[in-house]
Structure 1
């Protein structure tokens, strides 16, 4: 319990500093990697994301990496479903039980769009080219039971976004804890997700040719230039979950979260 309180206090301090620094700036047009806000699986999403306090579920890699510490054997979970405006969301998880050494997990999330026409002001019906978008998150997770009631887990993730010929990429970590109380198996889970670097779009779509001095003739008329985009932070999440098995019989298993 002592370790859980220390990590909880540290997590709150990180989030407070992050949110405090962002209060004075406008959020308009300053978002990246919004696909990280999409719940990974239907079960957890159907519960409103109230799964940070549950254990031994592979999809817990997304909500709380400490929750896979109780996983046994080798497990695989994957899913694919349609998202808004013909986009497709897909994920895959592999969990491997290492016995007393803990549990490791591998996860991949992908959000992609179909090809669409490139349109400009002068050619609103299309230039003949097509573009698409693709978002990717690939992570490695390690989780371990430090005591019979307390587990700690963390994920290291590579995050990338592609829009036509432009790409943004960074790294991030997730950290989580899970503590099981002696009261009806009640569990308290705390996690921080997407704590990492900022992202900005770069690529040949930002390359342009400009005339640095349009008022005078005889100078260099075209100079290669680049649109320099700004860095924006990842969506940071701080989750606290509580769950318990209040009724558990042969005919009824009542789990609340």
Structure 2
């Protein structure tokens, strides 16, 4: 028992040391708006949002890919997922994902995220109220994921992420990488998740909108090409813990019907201060679920809540989930998700 206590203390100290390099950075140095592709940090998945985004250690299946690619190591057969979220003024984003277990220890998945602004008016200095032409701003992220179960307690995963922004006649595209792990510590039922996401080279915008015709230009084609600055992607490090306080696998309170799971995440990105999230999920018979969560030390994100049902159908299962998220600068968001396991 003393050895278990010592190992738990070492685990906590190790988790803290991973963030130690940021302790001396004052909160005022937030570096907000110093990266591009910030839609990559949008929380997706109704279950994850209901838990306040605390999904690095608790995430299972394709919904956990943006938080930790090792999450697909929990897929039992095949799995598909779709979700839709509406923001204000016609902005929306969607997720479509598919994952499969290839062998007893190998897993693959594809995860597509796309955000759309809805139609907007094209304006210029001559027609400030609109030329009559419309355009959309769209952002896309396509991840190809591979995970492997190394032992009965350790899973690792990685993904290649193709990203692209289209803003009228201007675009940005690039690639990034994610890597993550999920480890069953064997200490009082705690699971430890860690991930680094959006690791890749700097990107910049190109396109016709950055080209102007200049009659007196010495350029042979008579055009001036504007060169935009390069910006980094929102590199993000996450570390999370989860524990079944009540449940079949709980070391605290055993129950075959009720489950109460606690999830906690610490998050540090290259363009924001250290922040975190915490969530609770109650499950009744692994059929009905209630979730609540909160963001910690974040200037806009607040409380979240949600729920869902999971219906077993022989060798397959269908899950329908809903999540509500509050925000201090925009209207509350509502997300619906549909997950099918087969």
Scaled by the length of structure 2, the TM-score of the pair is 0.64
Give the alignment of 1:58-137 within 5 angstroms. Answer: 58-137=62-141
Which whole-Å CA distance do the structure 2 matches of 1:140 and 1:26 have between them?
30
Match for 2:191 among 176, 184, 187? 187
Equivalent position of 2:336 in the other structure: none
CA contact (8 A) 1:55 1:69 kept: no
Deviation of residue 24 (structure 1)? 9.4
Residues 55/112 of structure 1: CA separation in 2 closer, same or farther (3 Å cut) = closer
Give the alignment of 1:1-257 within 5 angstroms. Answer: 28=33, 30-210=34-214, 212=216, 223-248=222-247, 249-257=255-263
Which whole-Å CA distance do the structure 2 matches of 1:174 and 1:196 have between them?
9
Residues 195/42 of structure 1: CA separation in 2 closer, same or farther (3 Å cut) = same
CA contact (8 A) 1:70 1:145 kept: no
CA contact (8 A) 2:61 2:79 kept: no
Which whole-Å CA distance do the structure 1 matches of 2:236 and 2:77 have between them?
30
Runs of 4+ aligned structure 1 residues displaced above 6 Å come to: 23-26
Gaps of 5+ in 1: 214-218
Which whole-Å CA distance do the structure 1 matches of 2:32 and 2:259 have between them?
44
More helix per residue: 1
User: What are the superposed Cα offsets for residues 186-240 of structure 1, whole Å, 9 maximum, x if unpaired?
Assistant: 1000100100122211011111023558xxxxx99x9311111111111111001
SS at match of 2:65: helix
More strand per residue: 2
Residues 167/16 of structure 1: CA separation in 2 closer, same or farther (3 Å cut) = farther
Scaled by the length of structure 1, the TM-score of the pair is 0.84
Which whole-Å CA distance do the structure 1 matches of 2:180 and 2:47 have between them?
20
Which whole-Å CA distance do the structure 2 matches of 1:134 and 1:33 have between them?
11
